[in-house]
Amino acid sequence: MTDVSPESAAPRGGSKLARNAAIVVGIVLVALIALLATRGTSTPISSQIVGQAAPDFTGTTLDGSMFRMANHRGEWVLVNFFATWCTPCRLEDPQIQQFVDSHKSDPVQVVSVAFSDDAKSIQEFWVKERNTWPVISNDTGLIALDYGVTKVPESYMVAPSGLVIAGFFGGVTAAGLDNVIADNGGMAMTGSGTGTK
């Protein structure tokens, strides 16, 4: 029979304490990562297309109409890459709708481009959320490639001149988008394009 002394039992208790501390630290880290991933605020990104002409693209929207980027010269255009399986994308969705609603009478356009998602999920999500801006759900791989998108949400603000003036990784906010427009000449900059809808 082995005699267990207090000295030999101590490391076992210390080991248990260390394990519990590691678990607590792990939980805190996971919570922090989840908070950062879903906080709904955007981070400006450095992208090769910022400062360049916005890549043109054409796509069929959920209602069957055609959207062509070039037709929206002279307007502020937010090009938003998203997926229905992406939590930060879902969190930014009401902010984009708020932005759309606040600019109904302004030369402002929003278009969302699906990223690794399927048309059925997007249709269901758009109906459930009552989103009112166009979304392109099919054949979007080349669009994402042209904009250099690797993960979502990722958004680009295009000025009326057709230049990409800002890019954002993470969920955008209505206020943040308004600030970008204001900082780049505001609505006075619209009307300079030659596109037609």
Q: Which of 66, 45, 58 is nearest to 157 (CA)?
A: 45
Name the nearest CA neighbour of 94 among 171, 154, 176.
171
pLDDT at 174 exceeding the cut of 80: yes
pLDDT classification of 195: cutoffs 50, 70, 90: very low
Closest residue by Cα to residue 75 from 51, 109, 103: 109
Is residue 93 a contact partner of residue 174, using CB atoms and an 8 Å limit? no
Q: Which position has the higher pLDDT, 91 or 37? A: 91
8 Å CB contact between 125 and 84: yes
Say what the pTM is: 0.74
Q: Are 10 and 16 in contact (CB under 8 A)?
A: no
The residue behind tokens 């394990």 is 19
* Spatial contact of 72 and 110, defined as CB atoms under 8 Å apart: no
DSSP-based three-state secondary structure for 170:
coil
Share of the chain residues as helix, strand and coil, in percent rounded to the nearest 5: 45, 20, 40
As a whole-number percent, the residues of the chain with pLDDT over 90 amount to 65
Q: What is the pLDDT of residue 188?
A: 80
Question: What's the pLDDT band for 99 if we cut at 50, 70, 90?
Answer: very high
Is the previous residue joined to 107 through a cis bond, with omega within 30 degrees of 0? no
